[in-house]
Structure 1
Amino acid sequence: MELRQLRYFVAIVDHGSLSRAALVLHVAQPALTQQLRQLEEELGAQLLHRSAHGVLSTDAGKVFYEHAQAILKQVADARSAVTQSTTRPSGSVTLGLPHSISGALALPLLTAARTTYPEITLQLTEEISGNLIEQLKSGRLNLAVLFDDGQLGGFEATPLVEEDLMYICRTDSLSKPRSASIALAAALSNTLILPAQQHGVRPLIEAAAAGAGLALTKLIEINSIAILKSALLADMGATLLPLAPLRAEIDSGLLAATPIENPPIRRSVTLCASRNIPLTNAAAAISRLVRQVTEMLCANGAWPGARLRE
């Protein structure tokens, strides 16, 4: 198996056809077809379905595509690590952010990266936290912001912030608390709109409920922040989230946030890197920048509800 075969295969999948990939790669289509055939023979599996309208990945092809992307990225990172300067880092860095963090961190970080490290191309990807963990392990991400649930021992971790979860509902909802805070038991008695199990804040909420001898009984599961907002505004239920992802709607008065007590629920936000794949100079620079931007956002109140972790 050769690196060029991996590049060819990824290009074919990305462009959806052999002819378009051949044009982009500046390779004759018969040569591209031959390399693909050799790759499939070596793997003993068909990677692509071919038709008059283009190509689609088989199940085996989808699995191989993920690995091929990770391998090509690590090769590019290795090349960049050898050639780049420690004083003027350059190259590409891919950072993963959970949906509920990107609203607070993404734009300030992009702005700071362009100003501080103009020779670094920062690529941000927004995913549910479970997907980010797998991509960081495989090397498809250089860095990822994750929630510290005590299971991050396999990563190099830099603490960022701690956030309180709030009970959030439509301002005129009948389920809006009449007091300045709401007990966890009262919050859980209402219909809640939450991520699916093992994603985002859900494990924290499940653990807090179990610790208090409570259960989540009335649930709507939504993994998209945008859809979750729409459901809240339609008064389909309330949610338990930090302030940041719903800040615009709370500031505008469309949604109301109430602190949770007895007990409160907090999440710890951490910047993670693989212990097995060395960071390039560029990735190390972005790692430091994430911490610096986080400190700035906490200091000026631009990350609402967040407290810096040391």
Structure 2
Amino acid sequence: MNTKQLEYFLATVEQGSISGASKVLDVAQPAISLQLANLEHELKIKLFERNFRGVSLTHAGSQFEEHARLILNQINTAKLDLIGQQTKCKGKVIVGLSQSLCNVLSVQLQTELEHRFPNVELAFRVGPSYMVENWFAEQQIDIALCYNTDLSKHAASSLPLISENLYLYISPRPKNPSYSELSLFGSIPFESLQDYELFMPDRRDALPKLLEEQAQKSGIKLKTRNAFGQLMTTLHYVSQGFGLAIYPSSATCHLEASHQIRAINITEPELKREVYLRLAEHQHKNPAVAAVFELIRETAANLHADNSWRGELLDNKYQQPSVINIESAVAG
């Protein structure tokens, strides 16, 4: 059942015929007849008695008319409320996140926001995970995407967003001869990573800490070299065949799509890290911040669905198609 069927049904009731409804709605009669037939089939009841003069409601049809009018009135009221809510959503919202998360989220998030909440200005504050955590604790940002579970004490809303997979990345055409065989691998045990030199971000960041903890558990020592300050510079170096790095697909999705870089699965164990979404306590009543918070959840689900952001989606609100959309979530 959909609103089009309800509108066609009520127009037919009011005009007393399908031809009359056709004129009022400016819709071809066969289209109206088809929608009414589909509605009756779905409800498994006969709504109209048909004769040469037109149509008249059956007893069941009269009962359904009351419900149809109530449903459409509620939908129209909701639309008006949402329009009002969108006008309330205005102002600047600052999102703090790492370079890899900004890489995967920023374009789609900004595009959707401009389309759906044009009065909201979105600013990204990008830095290492430990800096994002500090900004959030000091109320310098409104929303944080981070890896630290302890930040929930500063948050009005907090939820695990995704458990992202980590991969070893290599160029399809490595320049280093020692990488030639590795470039053919589909997977590699974590313990074997000790045989290769890896680019490593600042050791205060979440990723090096995770890798070092796993190396200690596995009884190995990883050989590392300092990554370049900017993520894209490091990945460009890797794509040119001069190095190796461990990242989530959020950092590399654009390079993978253009086949400039390829992922090797890490096994024994698989490496994952959880990404958390936090809304600052001092902004919990701000409609614009709430709108961006919800839109990040929806965008993350979309990116997970199209394989740009690989891992286990932990926030399932927008995983499946739903009649509840971002605007209604903000309004509610």
Contact 1:190-1:237 within 8 A present in 2 as well: no
CA separation of 1:295 and 1:304: change in aligned 2, threshold 3 A? closer
Give identity over the alignment, percent: 19
Deviation at 1:105, TM superposition (A): 0.5
Cα deviation digits, residues 195-238 of structure 1 (max 9, x gap): 11121421111111112122223323334212212321343321
Change (3 A) 1:170 1:177: closer
Task: Provide the C-alpha distance between the structure 1 equivalents of 2:172 and 2:285, rounded to a whole number of angstroms.
Answer: 46
1:94 corresponds to = 94
Which residue in 1 is equivalent to 2:39? Answer: none
- 2:153 matched residue in structure 1: 154
| 1:217 corresponds to | 223
> Residues 88-121 of structure 1: CA distance to partner in whole angstroms, max 9, x if unpaired?
3211111112101112110111111111211111
Asked if structure 1 preserves the Cα contact closer than 8 Å seen for 2:169 and 2:264, the reply is yes
CA offsets 1:114-147 (integer angstroms, 9 cap, x no match): 1121111111222221111111122221011112
Question: What is residue 233 of structure 1 aligned with on the other side?
Answer: 239
Which amino acid counterpart does residue 171 of structure 2 have in structure 1?
R
C-alpha contact 2:169 2:262 (8 A) present in aligned 1 = yes
Task: Indicate how the Cα distance of structure 1 residues 209 and 276 shifts in structure 2: closer, same or farther if over 3 A, else same.
Answer: farther
**Backbone CA RMSD of aligned residues:** 2.1
CA shift at 1:177, angstroms?
A: 4.7
Q: 1:184 to 1:279 in 2, by over 3 A?
A: farther
Letter in 2 for 1:162: S
- Aligned in 2, Cα 1:210/1:276: closer, same or farther, shift over 3 Å? farther
C-alpha separation in 1, matches of 2:150 and 2:212: 16
The structure whose Rg is larger is 2
CA pair 209-152 structure 1, distance change in 2 beyond 3 A: farther
Superposed structure 1 runs of 4+ greater than 6 Å apart? none
Q: TM-score, normalised by structure 1?
A: 0.66
Counterpart contact for 1:142–1:279, Cα < 8 Å: no
Higher helix share: 2
- 1:290-310: per-residue Cα shift (whole Å, max 9, x none)? 111212222233x23143113
Report the Cα offset of residue 182 of structure 1: 0.2
1:1-310 pair list within 5 angstroms: 86=85, 88-148=88-148, 150-156=149-155, 157-173=158-174, 174-175=178-179, 176-275=182-281, 278-301=284-307, 303-310=308-315
Structure 2: which 5+ residue stretches go unaligned? Answer: 1-83, 316-332
Instruction: From the superposition, tell whether residues 151 and 236 of structure 1 become closer, same or farther in structure 2 (CA, over 3 Å).
Output: farther
Q: Give the whole-Å Cα distance in 1 for the aligned partners of 2:258 and 2:292.
A: 33
Shift of 1:276: 5.5
Question: 2:306 and 2:198 mapped to 1: Cα distance?
Answer: 32
Segments of structure 1 that go 5 or more residues without pairing to the other structure are: 1-84
SS at match of 2:223: coil
Give how far 1:168 is off. Answer: 0.5
Aligned partner of 2:327 in structure 1 is none
* Corresponding residue pairs, total: 224
